[in-house]
Structure 1
């Protein structure tokens, strides 16, 4: 991702070329040394550095991390932990994360998992030899290079956990990979990393963690009290992984034992460690191919901003010279967002704009197809499952995203409406209506009640009397927020009990978000923030026109669009305006606006559409990076996937725009009868003529 206005251009002796990502510790950049070595430069955020305890621990941990010299670790090559800003530079690993590789290319076979286990055990041995404990080993912290995996971020999570900024009782780590002793607030040492290693290998072999998904508290409960689910793992592999996942850390194998167990096969290492060759031939072929390609695409100059050839953006960029460009693969996986449309899919090449580079036909292949029962329809999707409802038959079915197989099917409980009002009996009815999925819970309404099921297995959890409103609660922390037009109420996601309620002075939209300890919604021109701790209004912001979109929060800022075509950025904590940018165009008339969609914030850029216009703005400054008028009167939906902006227009076309320049790569006509089309990540789900089909799209 290109650098933004707020990013440094140099840290220490390293020239920064691009932003790789960000997290709780700060931002990560791709840098080059004076001699041309590519490094990942991690710059710690200022809020952490203001905590003296963190600063002292960070200095100690960086010093220890520099002693780690394992083949399968991303070595620390330079650092200034006492500087302002504080930073460290590690070996840059041009390859996908294990999380991304499994999501895109599927689960790994037994030999590959055993090879991965041997390499990761060797990495942990090197970390432990330096008197460090990783404490946050997970699929996203394992990068896959052509010559084998690299474990990253060792020693850093320990520093982040030992700070006054950490709330009392908070556990550092990722649910499902945190060992039970750490959840019990007991001492966690190298055996905790062995637990995480077992969970990582189970993920590689099955595509899901051994303790399932869903709400953090539910996953953590399973880690402490329930046995892992190792269904699908080969017996010999499952036996070793189960030992790694033992509740008692004293019963887990040591790293040296694992090396002896898994190191019997040849593993890859660049210098011959483990008896291997020059490449990781045990890794799945598609993963090696991606890693090899990414190694050849590491930029040597700053990645240009959208619509420009330099790192400085232009409000009105000139059309680029038509040519075929190599796309640099971004390491961080894009957030999967859903778009719903009407029509059937016919993929063909269409002529681009005059300034469009030559485009190859989209690479789409059918993943799976299955018939639907009478009355069944697709309602909501997640990155793991699709949920079908059969309203009148009172049935809900969950399908696997990977192959369309049935994960579970259940005839669910419905509300007794025999003694209710005519409105409930004749209008609401006792059918089932899925309203959403959040926090590992699947919500559906029937009659006077809202019901919650476990999204992973369909087990019924609770019911709540909601007077037939049937909201779609959003789980944040230990609370589920259910929003109505004039009020919202907050439920305990474990029991469905109402915790508290808040009423507005006037009507608001159904659109809302919860971020930074506040629930935000809008009414007419007002953006309203209600503090979720004090249960009082925190602030109200008055826009210059009617608010048209749901508020979208990212990095402490709330973005929203208004009827007159403007895009706003407001500080989520104070309600102060950070910037506003007018949505202009040759034929734009703000008086006729009103088709705006929710902004998308990806990699420091805000993508926004209103009627037939699509624009990209710098998230920090509001500067226009590019704007494109589509060949249509209205844009119906927009989403961003892997550097591509997918735009569905009112004429029935799906357009693919380059996220950095707005240049159109291809335009495909969507036609057919009554068809439901959804894009989730780079997968297209088509519901037509009683059949549900999944296609994979290359972006």
Structure 2
């Protein structure tokens, strides 16, 4: 390992987190500044209505620096507004860095940069507004649509070289150019996040022994703690172009120290690139910064692409769609029953996580909408048999204003009312009230504008595990007895509320770059662990191991020794959380593959993909968590459902459902219950995959669903209805 190199300490916009502090990445649905591949999230009751002169319309994400919102100026311009966490502003060193970096970033202008348009770095709260780019990141575009042809990569390279030229002309060095910091708008890419850039030669912003950036894109001279200037950005540009052309970085993946070692000591892997492009990229990746080309020469060498048409077709379509879907009025405020309908086109909906999904009794929460063509295909075209209704209504009850369904167990359904600080538990069998009360909330310090105006004291249920119901309020995580609602304890978590996983008397709370462990009886912290990388998705914990994904890497942490146990590298980024059954870890990836990995050693046992002429692995990215029942792994990706033998990976059956997307599936009593993007529930025979029946639950695109065993709960039209599913 390069001495002192840590890597993976990623900035998130102007004013990167205090060095050495764990960083929480933005919420999964978004990328970059918020121009991701799915729709924005509604504002919650605790979100501000305005920041500065900007009206806030939606929440784009939450990260180590704070919360990011979609805002609109009085003149109608869309901006990304980043509101800094109050806890960071209490650090005077951070405040000084933030003020300097905002001033520096405002000097950057150029066609292919997302400009800083306004800021109040000394305000309370401090905030920054940048140009809003409604497009996918390069990272998401490659993961979802595949690698780019040479001409498209060259066009991208020319635009990025021009962007870096603008950065360098302002006397800055970006220092964190990477695929997720390149957003793809219909009129060209935008380089974002100048938060860890600094005035060239100003080393005061970088503490000794700290490496800023992302492994695989950090130049070797920076890893050696030598001076790093514009040539370092050229190195990162070469790595970005290699990623676009090959789908992976030129120095591979894995643990950050291993990637950093290869950057310093080994040649890049460029065999997947066209020869002429590989030659350009190789010069950018030269170990000696003096041997790298300048951005001006790269612009001359890569320029000449047609101004229109260089962006790959599927990516251009995605960017154009996202641009058309930018709301012009606030999205529905979750939990308060009020809304101002957006005037833009309704977003095309894909897979969304609107509720916490529990591993208790196969509880799942999904949202369903979309377009449908019935076309089951796998060994023939079948039609669903004509049968009597297969959904028997068990009970129905109205919801009070502001109430909504959250988590559930095999016995109870939990409702929350955010603003009124109320939680209600219903019996799942008959809908009767088991308990309900106003619950404690965090004490909001009146001298903290961030907690008072941005975070607030509203409640949000985050999880249910080990007999405890967890909810967040203000800067604390609370625990209640799930059976009675009695208060147990609270833990100061700085407003980043986790969904703990309980094993024995330990609650494991995942926070992206680290996890901490609480005593379930007292709420006291027992210990914590840093991954050294940003880990996506949720954790899975067994008696002695915690599993989590970081991009393509599955990480196993031994909870007894508190050390990393092993890592496993997949061929594509993880799309599902890990599921552990019978000594194996199962998970799906964005290229449509399903993996089985030995839980003890990390060795790959088998790997399978969807097959057939209708399947294109590059268009995956819609996979749901596999369900392992009776020696069979059931798995869905977009409109495809498959069953695999858990021991060998042999394909038992495979079907293409009628809908464009399968939202989720669960297995109970010999049947596979499948939810599709039309809002229909269908039943497949678990042994053969043949369709049994199909029922339309609702035509309401905003209805939420949950299932526990053979009971389906639907929240719609201000009420809650439960059905028994026929087997």
TM-score, structure 2 length as denominator? 0.48
TM-score, structure 1 length as denominator? 0.50
